[in-house]
Chains A and B, each alone.
Chain A
Amino acid sequence: DVKVTQSSRYLVKRTGEKVFLECVQDMDHENMFWYRQDPGLGLRLIYFSYDVKMKEKGDIPEGYSVSREKKERFSLILESASTNQTSMYLCASSLSPGIEQYFGPGTRLTVT
């Protein structure tokens, strides 16, 4: 069965901290995505990666960076967390960006 896992379901961090969110998929998918989801705004794409060490900015990349050193793992990094980055973060993977994406359970991040 297809599986996307995220390192934490809930995370609380302080303003200014460096935050790492990890995502692992076991489907050998080429493409991986990071979204954030906020009430009234739907899902917004932060970054995606179409190959190892390759990345592409999404709609809201400011304040975030990503790392993909291995095909199965895609990390989202908040260099200096701020309160406006409090959100639900969702990771997904797919064989191709335009087709079915498989999502992880999400990480609810609170920055205080």
Chain B
Amino acid sequence: LAKTTQPISMDSYEGQEVNITCSHNNIATNDYITWYQQFPSQGPRFIIQGYKTKVTNEVASLFIPADRKSSTLSLPRVSLSDTAVYYCLVGVYSGGYQKVTFGTGTKLQVIP
């Protein structure tokens, strides 16, 4: 399984764009990249998933360079409610039962 590395914590002011980068140097050809968000006292919640280039949804964008050894989650104009832990994980998108692994995540603190 590809191991991921993320910054332990980040601070950002309200209204700014936040970019959280994840490193996954040994990503396999058929691995997808997925990001989750977790608020205190809750289970993680899926944000976005991608394979290459760029993916955008109503919550975030995910940028994946051609070599796929890293990815960047971009949160536009963060608010205080975006304060959470963000996890990057890499796993196989298939009907098989290979498991994915969560890392320690990045704790984002949004400051007023």
One of B13-21, B67-75, B76-84, B89-97 contacting the partner: B89-97
Closest residue of chain A to B85 (Cβ to Cβ) is A42
Enumerate chain A residues within 8 angstroms of B101, measured Cβ to Cβ: 45, 59
Q: Are A100 and B43 interface neighbours, CB within 8 A?
A: no
Contact of B93 among A40, A45, A48, A99 (CB under 8 A): A99
Q: Are A50 and B97 interface neighbours, CB within 8 A?
A: yes
Cβ distance A98 to chain B, nearest Cβ, rounded Å: 4
Closest residue of chain A to B97 (Cβ to Cβ) is A50
Contact of A48 among B32, B44, B49, B99 (CB under 8 A): B99
Enumerate chain B residues within 8 angstroms of A41, measured Cβ to Cβ: 104
Q: Are B105 and A100 interface neighbours, CB within 8 A?
A: no
Q: Are A42 and B102 interface neighbours, CB within 8 A?
A: yes
State in angstroms the CA–CA spacing of A90 and B42 once bound together.
9
The total of chain B residues at the interface (CB under 8 A) is 27
Closest residue of chain B to A104 (Cβ to Cβ) is B43
Q: Are A97 and B98 interface neighbours, CB within 8 A?
A: yes
Question: Looking at chain B's contact residues, is the secondary structure mostly helix, strand, loop, or mixed?
Answer: loop
Q: Are A97 and B92 interface neighbours, CB within 8 A?
A: yes
State in angstroms the CA–CA spacing of A104 and B98 once bound together.
21
Enumerate chain A residues within 8 angstroms of B41, measured Cβ to Cβ: 105-106
Cβ distance B92 to chain A, nearest Cβ, rounded Å: 4
Residues of chain B whose beta carbon lies under 8 Å from any beta carbon of chain A: 31-32, 34, 36, 41-46, 49, 87, 91-105
Other CB < 8 Å A-B pairs besides A48-B97, A103-B45, 11 of them?
A43-B44, A45-B102, A92-B44, A97-B92, A98-B91, A98-B94, A100-B49, A101-B46, A103-B42, A104-B43, A105-B41
